Amino acid sequence: MALAGGRFTGGVIFLIFLQIILRRGVVHGDSFYERQKPKQWNNNNGCDFYEGSWVYDVSYPLYDASNCPFIGDGFNCQKNGRPDSEYLKFRWQPRRCDLPRFNGEDLLERYRGKKIMVVGDSLSNNMWQSLTCMLHTAVPNSNYTLTTHNSLSTFFFPEYETSVMYLKNGFLVDLVKEKIGKVLKLESISRGDEWKNVDLMIFNTYHWWTHTGHYKTWDFFQVGDKLVKEMDRMEAFKIGLTTWGKWLDSNINPSNTIVFFQGVSAVHIDGNDWGEASTKNCQGEKQPIKGSRYPGPSLEGEAIAKNVLSDIVTPVYLLDVTLLTQLRKDGHPSNYTTSNNSTPLLDCSHWCLAGVPDTWNLILFATLFQN
């Protein structure tokens, strides 16, 4: 009790402190308030959506993936023969509040005639497929079209004239094929025009920066005029993300566009991380980790993303998925990545749908409309 009381008092002091800063900003017209970013620390009536635990809920999942034929094979675990279904039954419960119910019709109504875009690697694809299925489930009788041109996929609801798009872009900064090989240009964004005139953007980049060997998609890093074969990956990630932040500051008008950054999503490739030394990876995992603390190491990219985001002037909401994904060792496609048994793959980084990314969209919805 004493501890809880102490925390509460701390919360009150923090609130008052924020108000003082806010008043100063308004009265003096300085940019002090502007620099209190990223906005994930916006206080939702004292509730941090990202602090919580997974609880069993019989009403889950939020949808039946078999009603969404557009869900890709790699995420459709039940279709791929995953025999257990308990993993579908967990709801994220923030510690101090409840997340509002996802109201897809309301979202479409508010985004009538507008564009929503998810940009990033395949975890963005994971989130986008979850969102399109949640929306389609909300308005099953409303028509939709799904088109793909190069790296842009557009899910369109004609009745609402709402576009929900996924743009594949693993690094956000440029990866260019040159004579000497593929160059990852840490300080260059030339495809930013594809991000313009969108009302709601959800960016993500991280996993590709960590790739090695056969998964690595570049030959050289370029920083300034210098080309290097290898450098500290987290340093590279930081420079790339900073370049993206500068792009936002020169190109985004916050009164037209809301920007989110999807934080680092956890992988489960070593049982030692969650105290099961005999477990190699996520294969065979059927239950989340109990409680609201992950025993394993924190992810390097998490702190870097938070630091870079705090220096961006444009308001960017961090969709801080790290803890809630760390606790879901059971939520990955694991060895159910395909319905074709002759090509087994193990995936401990993406997420089954229905599943964990539905919660990212619940929090997106809550952040957009509850404030």
Ligand X SMILES: *[C@@H]1O[C@H](CO)[C@@H](O)[C@H](O)[C@H]1NC(C)=O
Count of residues that bind ligand X according to CB under 6 A = 12
CB of 44 to ligand X, least distance (A): 35
Choose, by CB under 6 A, the member of 53, 335, 361, 367 that binds ligand X.
335
Give 150's DSSP letter: T
Q: Which range, of 97-105, 262-270, 305-313, 342-350, touches ligand X by CB under 6 A?
A: 342-350
Measured from the CB atom, the residue of 278 and 342 that comes closer to ligand X is: 342
In the complex, least distance from residue 346 CB atom to ligand X, rounded to whole angstroms: 9
Tell me which stretch binds ligand X (CB under 6 A): 38-46, 55-63, 320-328, 337-345. 337-345
Nearer to ligand X by C-beta: 93 or 142? Answer: 142
Handedness of CA 348, 351, 356, 360 (dihedral sign): positive
Residues in contact with 341: Cβ distance below 8 Å, sequence separation at least 6, in sequence order:
81
Q: Cα separations (Å) of 218 from 143, 174, 228, 244?
A: 40, 11, 11, 19
The DSSP-derived string for 285-351 is: --SPPPSS---SPPPHHHHHHHHHHHT-SS-EEEE--HHHHHT-TT-S-BT-S-S-TTS---BSSS-
**Binding of ligand X by 343 (CB under 6 A):** yes
**Active site includes 347?**
yes
Based on the shown chain and the rule CB under 6 A, indicate whether residue 255 belongs to the binding site for ligand X: no
CA distance 122 to 105: 26
Query: Of the listed 330, 349, 350, 358, which one is catalytic?
Result: 350
Contacts of the segment 137-143: beta carbons below 8 A, 24+ positions apart = 137/62, 137/63, 137/64, 137/67, 137/68, 137/104, 138/102, 138/103, 138/104, 138/105, 138/107, 138/108, 139/104, 139/105, 139/108, 140/67, 142/108
Spot the catalytic one: 174, 320, 347, 358.
347
Task: Return the structure tokens found at 158.
Answer: 């004609």
**Residue 69: CB minimum distance to ligand X, A:** 16
Is 268 a catalytic site residue?
no
Choice among 53, 122, 130, 349 that is catalytic? 122
Closest CA to 360 of 318, 321, 310: 321
Residue number, 6 or 140, with CB nearest to ligand X: 140
Q: Is 143 in the site for ligand X (CB under 6 A)?
A: yes
Query: Among residue numbers 275 through 314, which ones bind ligand X (CB under 6 A)?
Result: 283-284
Q: Is residue 72 at the binding interface for ligand X, with CB under 6 A as the rule?
A: no
344 lines the binding site for ligand X (CB under 6 A): yes
Closest CB to ligand X among residues 60, 156: 156
Q: Reply yes or no on whether 350 is catalytic.
A: yes
Instruction: Quote the tokens at residue 179.
Output: 């004579």
Residues assigned a catalytic role: 122, 347, 350
Q: Which residues lie near ligand X (CB under 6 A)?
A: 81, 142-143, 159, 283-284, 335, 340-344
